[in-house]
A and B are shown apart, each in its own frame.
Chain A
Amino acid sequence: MKKRSVLPRWLTSEHPLPWLFPVTALLIVFGLYPVLYSLWLSFFKRNPATRKEKFMPSWNWEKLLSDDRVWDAVQITFTYALLALSIQLIVGLAIALLLDTDRKGFGILRALMTLPLVVPPAVTGMMFLLMYDSSFGVISNSLYALNLLSPSAPILGTGSTALWGVIIADVWQWTPFMVLIMLAGLRALPREPFEAASIDGASGLQSFIYLTLPMMSKIIALAVLIRGIDLFRIFDYVKVMTDSGPGTATETLTAYAGTVYFKTANFPYASTVALATLILVLVTASIFIKVFKVRF
């Protein structure tokens, strides 16, 4: 005999509501509501002199589209994301192949490889600032010795190299992410196809191109998606290492939104730029998910 409960059904533990309520409430109040608030803010024109705001729905969005700094920032964001992503993917896959063996000692090497992942990105920025320093930085001085860099053009102070300086810090921190995921993929591969291929006389390179890569394509797409979205939202390294400089040479969209917020206090326009980042991430991610059929 089952006990009859006096509570309405949606309050019992058989109903999903009580289980989902805390998470949903928090996400709505502090996640969804701010996005809508942001959208609402973007409909106001702020007068910097009087600090008054006036309802003009298209003002900020028109300003956004005609703002050269936004288009520069979009270009820098894409350049940054694509360069960092391709390097991380290729180097990550190569290192995963190198470390994918059961020989003694490689377990420790794989564990050591994960350490950069837990360094706070702001601290990573500091590590690289120290090594890039134009007078006593170890990287700068090594490059001087090899004649690849001159002290008159410091890495982060020169427009043509500053973005690379930031990308290298990102690559250092996040290549281990790719290595880990690729290693998990490699470990899960079945053995038989490779044995058959080697009996048929396939070279190592052939079985990599025709077997490993196609069988890993799902995992690679997933890793690219997760990493790619984080790259579009890049903020910490730019803020800490170059603060968008020199000039605006490393100003990504998120960094520009931060600059508008901190330096001009034009909150409606800062919200508009931030929403543009959100739109860019959502559109790019949806296209990617459709094209590569990524599933979680």
Chain B
Amino acid sequence: MSALIKTWLRYLVAMVVVGIFIFPIAWFALTSIKPISAVFNKDRVVVFDFEPTFDNYKVTVLGGLKSDNQGSSNILMGTSGEGAYDGRGSIVSSLVIAICSTFLATSISLLAAYALSRLSFRGAQGYMQWILSQRFLPPIAIIIPLVFIFRDLGLRDTHLGIIIAHTLINIPIALLILKSFFDDVPIEVDQAAMIDGATRFQCFYMVVLPMIKGGIAATAVLCFIFSWTEFLLSLFLTNSIRTVPVKITTFVTSTGSEWGYISALGTAAIIPGFIFILLVQNHLVRGLTMGAIKD
């Protein structure tokens, strides 16, 4: 009997705890479908009896006009201009940047990770430590010179510039995770392939690479998420191109914040991450610890 109560108590506590962690996301998503009158109602903060509306998504994600949005015309706040809350350009920019930097970081890290896993050479240990120290480098320490370097190279405020910056922060993570996946493949596989006459590169490309497909996918997903959520580098390196996280912060102004639009674009920004993280649950711990803990 007491064991049964214990079991149910554990379920209850676990559900409450997880509920607390889900609440901010749920509240944000709920705000995004509230009409403006319900968002700013300070007498009844917790309301569920509102008419759900997708007006906020129409403006931020679908490019609808702010003036068509019922109820917003009589509230003067936030940034002006019809296009100020149009997040379509930002979503496209963020997608392009995340996809390109993921591809770049994963592919060049694959080469380096294979060499570090398979070719023994002097200084390999030191090289690994250098890569690791790059992961620990505070972005703020490189951002100011990077602004100057990018200006001189014509990379400032370009997609290519942020793609390079995000590749840079993803390389150490991708390299260390991929090395741990290569280390899982027994070295006899390479030896057998090379006895059969394969060159080192053929052995890498045709034999070992297909064996760690799942690991590469997991690494790519993590790189995508890190790029998609990155804020500091994108903020410093751009003026007109705005990634989604930077764009959202422009919705907060001294004259008030358009919480409807903020929560709509914010909720939309969370969705790709949710889908992806559920796909890589099996390799998540390895990814977050850069291969130090295998799961």
Within A224-257, the residues touching B (CB, 8 Å) are 226, 229, 232-233, 235-236, 239-240, 254, 257
B247-271 contact mask (Cβ, 8 Å, vs A): 1 or 0:
0110010000101001100100110
Interface string of B26-41 (1 = CB under 8 A from A): 0110010000000111
Say yes or no: A27-B168 contact (C-beta < 8 A), given A115-B274, A123-B245, A222-B289. yes
B residues in contact with A123, CB < 8 Å:
28, 245, 248, 266, 269-270
Contacts of B223 in A (CB 8 A): none
Bound-state Cα–Cα, A124 to B132, Å: 27
- Are A274 and B144 CB-contacts (below 8 A) given A31-B134, A112-B18? yes
| A136/B41 in contact, CB under 8 A | yes
Q: Which residues of A contact B62 (CB under 8 A)?
A: none
Asked if A35 CB lies within 8 Å of chain B CBs, one says: yes
A116 and B27 within 8 A (CB): no
Question: B231 touches which one: A122, A183, A277 (CB < 8 A)?
Answer: A122
The A interface is mostly helix, strand or loop, or mixed, namely: helix
> What total of chain B residues lie within 8 Å of the partner, measured CB to CB?
98
Among the interface residues A114, A222, A258, A261, which one has the most CB atoms of the partner chain B within 10 A?
A: A114
Given A116-B25, A120-B231, A271-B144, A109–B270 Cβ distance below 8 Å?
no
**Interface size class, chain A:** 35 or more
B262 touches A275 (CB 8 A): no
CA distance A106 to B11 in the complex (A): 8
Stretch at the interface among A60-68, A80-88, A169-177, A194-202: A169-177
Known pairs A122-B246, A277-B138; A138 contacts B167 (CB<8 A): no
Apart from A111-B278, A131-B27, list 7 A-B contacts with CB within 8 A: A26-B108, A30-B149, A118-B270, A120-B231, A123-B270, A235-B139, A239-B235
User: Which 3 residue pairs are nearest across A and B when measured between Cβ atoms?
Assistant: A118-B273, A19-B115, A37-B145
By a beta-carbon cutoff of 8 Å, the part of chain B in contact with chain A is 7, 10-11, 13-15, 17-18, 21-22, 24-25, 27-28, 31, 39-42, 45-46, 108-109, 111-112, 114-116, 119, 121, 124, 127-128, 130-134, 136-146, 148-149, 164-165, 167-168, 171, 175-176, 199-201, 204, 225, 228-232, 235-236, 244-246, 248-249, 252, 257, 259, 262-263, 266, 269-270, 273-274, 276-278, 281, 284-285, 288-293, 295
